[in-house]
Amino acid sequence: MLSVHTSPLHQPGTGDAGGMNVYIVELAKRLAEINIEVEIFTRATTGAVPPTVELAPGVLVRHVDAGPYEGLAKEDLPAQLCAFTHGVVQTEASHGQGHYDLVHSHYWLSGQVGWLAAERWGVPLVHTMHTMAKVKNAALAEGDTSEPAARVIGETQIVGAADRLIANTAEEADELVRHYDADLARTAVVHPGVNLDRFCPAEGGRAAARARLGLPQHAVIPLFAGRIQPLKAPDILLRAVAVLLDEDPSLRERICVPVVGGPSGSGLAKPERLQKLAARLGVADVVRFQPPVCQEELADWYRAASVLVMPSYSESFGLVAIEAQACGTPVVAAAVGGLPVAVLDNRTGFLVPGHDPADYARLLRRFIDEPRLGEEFGAAAARHAQDFGWAGAAAATAEVYTAATQERRRRLRSPHG
């Protein structure tokens, strides 16, 4: 596996670490459990890390020196792909031909490396986009920067070169066909999973989780969890809360709005933008900014919340929505990308067309006025999340690997190549 720009060992929720990190870690572990050994190549971002780290039995992380350790933005990484590819190819050469059976690249930067490595080794290339430049550019948040033309070209090349593409949802598969002329026959839909052992309703329920986190027991708690950047739109939640407080000032005494995550991507340009917005909107006293937390503690934040709010402009799937639902928490989310698959509208939460804060405020008001709605949706959400275990995702991914391998062998045997 290739994950050039973000390490599976990094803390999700800050920098460039997010759902993709969780995806790679969990998928690799489950693949190893079904006897598919995985080596994950990622860029070394500090001299302190050893060249190899065993993430789990059968899963090895390899750190490749490519460019300076610190201070290299994702946008600067294309210039380091040559050095990264050299490190990958050199590792294979030290083992001897035939060491790797297949390359699975994640995100377009890794796809560029995977394209060359797979071709050199004569093995299949499987690629997962995670996000697509053309899709992101079509739904930019106000003030956000568009993805560069170089990325669009790179993604188009990978779509043409890959033996198989893995899409998170049927809609993402359609977008690959529509925007990048992908071959639907070589595009497989595999829903990401969720760690159902970690993300689950806890003993003692919401009250116990709130006690552990020091949150008020009887408060209304709409939660944002994720990277703080315009794409994820945490500002929409703050604006919605401002609408609620304007309509009902008494709510100020019993609402708490945690924002769990750190600045990321274009959000790094103005890391305190959200705090300043909260002050301008007059909601700073009810908003609680929390730096990124480990997965175990994140599960408690989900359990403690009345509702998770995901107003994103673009989401290839929305793992956070499934994680929260697995903990028994309903979700109010934008009806974009994979979120209509992750969230069952009017059953496990609400899907919002567009990004008008008033629409989010209206739906949050329903959870305030109808406490039973949260209980009903929460119970349905926990049941819905059971369909998204990582074991199923790993089994489906293994089938994609088998199909790609068999097709390549057939092509090699064919006299017409």
Binding residues for 1D-myo-inositol 3-phosphate: 5, 16-21, 74, 107, 131, 151
Binding site for Mg(2+): what residues are annotated? 302-303, 305, 329
Report the first-to-last Cα separation within the chain, whole angstroms. 26
Q: Is 194 helix (H, G, I), strand (E, B) or coil?
A: strand
Residue ranges for the known binding site are 5, 11-12, 16-21, 74, 107, 131, 151, 227, 232, 293, 302-303, 305, 315, 323, 329
- Count the neighbouring beta carbons within 10 Å of the beta carbon of residue 178: 11
Contact of 64 with 48, CB cutoff 8 Å: no
Binding-site residues for UDP-N-acetyl-alpha-D-glucosamine, please?
11-12, 19, 227, 232, 293, 315, 323
Closest C-alpha to 16, from 260, 195, 267: 267
Contact 351, 318 (CB under 8 A): no
Query: Could you tell me the two tokens for 145?
Result: 């920067």
Segment (H or E) for 63: strand 59-64
How buried is residue 350: exposed, middle or buried, by Cβ count under 10 Å (0-12/13-18/19+)?
buried
SS (H, E, C) 122-155: CCCEEEECCCCHHHHHHCCCCCCCCCCHHHHHHH
**Would you call 268 exposed, middle or buried from its count of C-beta atoms within 10 A (0-12, 13-18, 19+)?**
middle
| Residue 387 near residue 348 (C-beta atoms within 8 A) | no
DSSP conformational letter for 100 = -
Per the listing, tokens 């093995």 go with 123
Give Dmax over CA atoms of the chain in angstroms: 77
The label of the residue with tokens 């994720």 reads: 226
Contacts of 326 (CB under 8 A, 6+ apart): 194, 196, 199, 200, 302, 381, 382, 385, 386, 388
CA angle 278, 282, 288 (to 5 degrees): 45
Burial annotation 280-293 (CB, 10 A radius, 16+ → b, else e): ebebeebbbbbebb
DSSP output for 323-339: HHHHTT--EEEES-TTH
Q: Which helix or strand (DSSP H or E) is residue 225 part of?
A: strand 222-225
